[in-house]
């Protein structure tokens, strides 16, 4: 349910509309939409970043995180997503400003009340599906006195701002697309190239013919190559590398046995319990009691084959199911339909909170009961169920007549499940669940079979304090004798522990490869220096971590030890190519060169720029380029160092292929390529921007 819908449900939808109206004028004057960070919602001067001089304030950033429901691990992901969105919005707003792009008050009104209105969901007639533009406009005219800043901010951020940004983005793209141009000479040249085919003979010697061990690559050669291709290897931000060892804090066999014995000790008391919910409340169970019947094929629990053989009241277990020891008690058995179809009207007293999932009260029981009385009265008076449902129901399927098509047992809360499966078809009545009051009508039932009511008493196997302390103490002892990187490595050898390397840790990372969510470790890494070892064990998941910082790689060209894995094979192939050209590519003909290398002359027919795959070589741009060089026709080229080996070519023929595309088709393809490049424009602007990221100081 959207924010606006919640407001309407509480009788304040008109207030919302007026708040939005007030915001429109304020936004257009103050430029709070999109890029402006100095106006409407700023709280304090704490800055988490700057984009081309525009600050992103922490107070506003936190408000947006809260508005989008960021919590727990979701919050960590949302911080990164929201940061990227904020950076992109500021960059694009600056581009809009440069071009003089804006959204005027009349245009904003058209956006808010037009065909693609962001308010369409809230002001659409559920019966006809028609957007009630007049109602929306009227709502914007009725009230002008609201001072609810929170509602105002939420509505602006979730509805008005995105709509305006989308309109500006469309204008921006349209403006650039209209400026795209393909000159006649380019389309004609591209057409000619696409229509050209070549046939060549060639000799190819792969780099694999020279053993890697015979070619040594020095550090100086690695660095020289990287400097020559610096744009490819330079890094924009700092990264750090660590090695870590872990100390397991998962439950021990002793912990498992203790939980087993605890569950076993409850077996007789569980068998004798007459009030299972109260018993579970007293002793605790990690599986709640479901008082509904569930058909056999819908029961997924591990031990059901054994449980169904029990007499009513019998108990099976303790047995291990995942990370829990479980006792299963067969409470009852009866024959029930396999599936049921119902329709219902819900008058809610509670609804799930969108952020936490817990039930939140939305209406007092007495008020809900009065509404349900009206529901029953109108239905008894002969009003159509669909219209009454659309008018009163708080359920998400209200616009579908409140119908739940055939569903199996166990999919609904126990009271609803009991009515749908245990009452005969045609039954109508009111039931009460944790969600509120339901008017239920059973429309149909299918099949029949045994259904079981089973109570599962479960206890999770948890790490005991003793096990946890042992792991933590072992990690602390490791730290106590590891004062430097050499001592760290020596300890690993003594304890037969594997030091695991982790590379490319960025300052704002929340995840570390192999460890998952590890923000505490990342923050420690960036608060210390190369060679430092964690002064205390860091708990991550079910283990304690001890880490040593092995590298601090600053922005720019990385050191040779980082570059070598990426560059060494390329430099080695360059040296192999020089050796092959010097020693093996001798002779005036392809046959002579082939003989010197103990290979054969090969042929490639109908090569083209769009289909440049060469048998035995693959796609090699140098090979393709040489194949279409008219100067090489009838001649043997010099040896050419390609991607996977060295080759020499003799061009037999260069001609045109039949049935080729016309000039206009080529032009349109070139224009389409330019249009597709627009989608990469924001990333290019981001790379060119001055971005100061201070998030790590706060998160």
- The share of the chain scoring above pLDDT 70, in percent, equals 88
* Of 504, 539, 554, the domain-final residue: 554
Give the residue among 138, 88, 133 at the shortest CA–CA distance from 111: 133
CA-based torsion, 219, 220, 225, 228: positive or negative = positive
pLDDT for 171 beyond 60? yes
Rounded to whole angstroms, what are the CA distances from 699 to 41, 78, 506, 641? 21, 12, 13, 50
Residue range 255-284, pLDDT digits in tens = 999 999 999 999 999 999 999 999 999 999
pLDDT for 71 beyond 60? yes
**Number of domains within the chain:** 5
> Residue 38 has what pLDDT?
37
pLDDT for 598 beyond 80? yes
Top-confidence residue, 247 or 300? 247
**Mean pLDDT in residue range 91-112:** 88
- Exposure class string for 655-683: b at 16+ Cβ within 10 A, else e: eeeeeeeeeeebbebbeeeeeeeeeeeee
Tokens of 262: 């605890």
CATH assignment of the domain containing 440:
3.10.50.40
* Of 299, 334, 369, the domain-final residue: 334
Residue range 370-394, pLDDT digits in tens = 999 999 999 999 999 999 999 999 9
For residue 549, list its beta bridge partners: 242
pLDDT for 443 beyond 90? yes
The backbone torsions φ and ψ at residue 101, rounded to the nearest 5 degrees and listed phi first, read -80, 135
Sheet holding 691-693, edge to edge: 54-57, 47-51, 691-693
d(CA 53, CA 692): 9
Top-confidence residue, 175 or 43? 175
Whether residue 31 is found in the same domain as residue 98: yes
**Mean pLDDT in residue range 584-599:** 91
> Which of 155-169, 324-338, 642-656 is the least confident region?
155-169
CA-based torsion, 561, 563, 566, 568: positive or negative = negative
Whether residue 171 is found in the same domain as residue 23: yes
Q: Is residue 189 part of a domain?
A: no
Whether residue 415 is found in the same domain as residue 479: no
> Which of 62-76, 322-336, 677-691 is the least confident region?
62-76
Strand locations in 234-296 (E): 239-248, 294-295
> Residue 441 has what pLDDT?
96
Print the domain residue range for 199. Answer: 195-234+561-656
Whether residue 398 is found in the same domain as residue 525: no
> Residue 152 has what pLDDT?
64
Q: Is residue 358 part of a domain?
A: yes
d(CA 49, CA 57): 7
Residue appearing with tokens 């739940």: 404
> Which of 7-11, 209-213, 354-358, 514-518 is the least confident region?
7-11
* Of 334, 368, 396, the domain-final residue: 334
Residue 146 pLDDT level (bands cut at 50, 70, 90): low
Whether residue 228 is found in the same domain as residue 257: no
Residue 663 pLDDT level (bands cut at 50, 70, 90): confident
Angle at which helices 253-265 and 465-480 cross, to 10°:
170
DSSP state at residue 337: -
Whether residue 29 is found in the same domain as residue 157: yes
- A 10 A CB-CB count for 175 gives 12
For residue 546, list its beta bridge partners: 245
Q: Is residue 549 part of a domain?
A: yes
> Residue 674 has what pLDDT?
83
Q: What is the mean pLDDT of the chain?
A: 86
Q: Is residue 359 part of a domain?
A: yes
For residue 33, list its beta bridge partners: none
Could you tell me if 297 and 279 are in contact, meaning their C-beta atoms sit under 8 angstroms apart? no
Could you tell me if 295 and 409 are in contact, meaning their C-beta atoms sit under 8 angstroms apart? yes
Residue 123 pLDDT level (bands cut at 50, 70, 90): confident
> Residue 240 has what pLDDT?
94
pLDDT for 529 beyond 90? yes
Cis omega (within 30 of 0) on the bond before 42? no
Whether residue 206 is found in the same domain as residue 295: no
Could you tell me if 187 and 663 are in contact, meaning their C-beta atoms sit under 8 angstroms apart? yes
Could you tell me if 208 and 464 are in contact, meaning their C-beta atoms sit under 8 angstroms apart? no
**Apex 408 CA angle, 405 and 410, nearest 5:** 120
**Mean pLDDT in residue range 558-582:** 94
Helix-strand-coil split of the chain, %, nearest 5:
45, 25, 30
Tokens of 681: 């424009």
| Residue 97, CB-side half-sphere exposure with 13 Å CA sphere | 11
Q: Is residue 213 part of a domain?
A: yes
pLDDT for 5 beyond 80? no
Residue 267: burial class (beta carbons within 10 Å; 0-12, 13-18, 19+): middle
d(CA 652, CA 504): 50
Whether residue 488 is found in the same domain as residue 585: no
Residue range 412-431, pLDDT digits in tens = 998 999 999 999 999 999 99
Q: Is residue 683 part of a domain?
A: no
**Mean pLDDT in residue range 513-520:** 90
> Residue 40 has what pLDDT?
36
Q: Is residue 532 part of a domain?
A: yes
Top-confidence residue, 114 or 553? 553
pLDDT for 504 beyond 80? yes
**Mean pLDDT in residue range 68-86:** 79
Terminal-to-terminal C-alpha distance of the chain: 30
Residue range 447-493, pLDDT digits in tens = 999 999 999 999 999 999 999 999 999 999 999 999 899 999 999 99
Whether residue 526 is found in the same domain as residue 620: no
> Residue 141 has what pLDDT?
65
**Mean pLDDT in residue range 592-599:** 92
> Residue 150 has what pLDDT?
67
Q: Is residue 187 part of a domain?
A: no
Whether residue 139 is found in the same domain as residue 57: yes
> Residue 37 has what pLDDT?
37
> Residue 610 has what pLDDT?
73
Whether residue 246 is found in the same domain as residue 307: no
Whether residue 219 is found in the same domain as residue 286: no
> Which of 440-449, 647-656, 661-670 is the least confident region?
661-670
> Residue 127 has what pLDDT?
60
d(CA 506, CA 510): 9
> Residue 143 has what pLDDT?
43
CATH assignment of the domain containing 504:
3.10.50
């Amino acid at each position: 349910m959207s924010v606006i819908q919640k407001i309407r449900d509480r009788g304040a939808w008109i207030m919302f509309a007026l708040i939005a109206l007030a915001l429109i004028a304020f936004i257009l004057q103050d430029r709070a939409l999109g890029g402006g960070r100095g106006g409407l919602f700023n709280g304090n001067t704490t800055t988490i970043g700057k984009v081309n001089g525009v600050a992103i304030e922490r107070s506003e950033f936190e408000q947006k995180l809260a508005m989008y429901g960021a919590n727990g691990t979701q919050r960590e992901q949302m911080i990164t997503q929201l940061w990227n969105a904020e950076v992109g919005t500021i960059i694009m707003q600056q581009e809009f400003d440069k071009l003089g792009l804006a959204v005027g008050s009349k245009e904003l009104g058209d956006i808010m009340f037009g065909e693609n209105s962001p308010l369409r969901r809230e002001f659409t007639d559920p019966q006809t599906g028609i957007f009630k533009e007049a109602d929306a406009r009227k709502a914007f005219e009725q009230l002008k006195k609201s001072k609810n800043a929170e509602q105002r901010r939420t509505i602006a951020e979730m509805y008005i701002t995105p709509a305006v940004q989308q309109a500006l983005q469309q204008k921006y793209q349209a403006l650039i697309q209209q400026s795209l141009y393909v000159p006649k000479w380019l389309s004609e040249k591209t057409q000619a190239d696409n229509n050209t085919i070549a046939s060549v003979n060639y000799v190819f010697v792969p780099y694999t013919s020279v053993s890697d061990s015979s070619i040594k690559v020095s550090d100086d050669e690695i660095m020289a190559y990287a400097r020559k291709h610096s744009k490819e290897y330079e890094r924009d931000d700092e990264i750090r590398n660590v090695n870590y060892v872990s100390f397991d804090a998962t439950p021990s066999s002793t912990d498992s046995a203790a939980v087993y014995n605890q569950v076993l000790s409850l077996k007789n008391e569980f068998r004798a319990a007459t009030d299972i919910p109260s018993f579970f409340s007293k002793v605790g169970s990690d599986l709640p009691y479901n008082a509904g019947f569930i058909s056999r094929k819908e029961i997924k629990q591990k031990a059901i084959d054994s449980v169904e053989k029990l007499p009513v009241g019998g108990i099976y277990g303790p047995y291990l199911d995942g990370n829990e020891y479980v006792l299963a008690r067969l409470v009852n058995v009866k024959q029930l339909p396999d599936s049921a179809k119902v329709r219902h009207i819900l008058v809610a007293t509670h609804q799930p909170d969108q952020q936490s999932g817990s039930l939140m009260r939305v209406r007092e029981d007495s008020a809900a009961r009065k509404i349900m009385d009206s529901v029953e009265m109108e239905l008894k008076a002969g009003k159509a169920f669909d219209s009454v449902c659309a008018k009163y129901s708080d359920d998400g399927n209200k616009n579908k007549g409140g119908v739940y098509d055939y569903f199996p047992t166990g999919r609904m809360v126990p009271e609803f499940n009991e009515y749908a499966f245990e009452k005969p078809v045609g039954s109508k009545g009111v039931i009460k669940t944790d969600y509120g009051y339901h008017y239920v009508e059973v429309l149909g039932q299918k099949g029949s079979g045994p259904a079981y009511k089973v109570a599962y008493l479960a206890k999770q196997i948890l790490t005991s304090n003793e096990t946890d302390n042992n792991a933590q103490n072992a990690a602390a002892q490791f730290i106590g004798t590891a004062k430097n990187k050499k001592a760290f490595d020596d300890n690993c050898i003594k304890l037969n522990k594997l030091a695991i390397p982790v590379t490319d840790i960025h300052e704002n990372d929340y995840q570390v490869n192999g460890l998952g969510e590890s923000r505490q470790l990342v923050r420690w890494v960036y608060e210390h220096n190369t060679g430092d070892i964690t002064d205390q064990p860091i708990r991550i998941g079910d283990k304690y971590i001890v880490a040593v910082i092995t590298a601090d790689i600053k922005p720019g060209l990385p050191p040779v030890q980082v570059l070598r894995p990426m560059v060494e094979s390329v430099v080695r192939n360059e040296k192999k190519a020089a050796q092959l050209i010097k020693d093996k590519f001798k002779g005036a003909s392809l046959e002579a060169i082939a003989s010197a290398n103990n290979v054969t002359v090969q042929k490639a027919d109908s090569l083209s720029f769009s289909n440049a795959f060469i048998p035995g070589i693959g796609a090699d741009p140098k090979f393709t380029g040489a194949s279409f060089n008219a100067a090489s026709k009838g001649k043997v080229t010099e040896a050419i160092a390609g991607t996977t080996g060295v080759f020499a070519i003799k061009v037999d023929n260069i001609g045109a292929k039949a049935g080729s595309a016309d000039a206009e088709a080529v032009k349109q393809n070139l224009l389409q390529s330019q249009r597709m490049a627009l989608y990469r424009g924001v990333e290019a602007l981001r790379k060119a921007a001055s971005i100061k990221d201070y998030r790590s100081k706060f998160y």
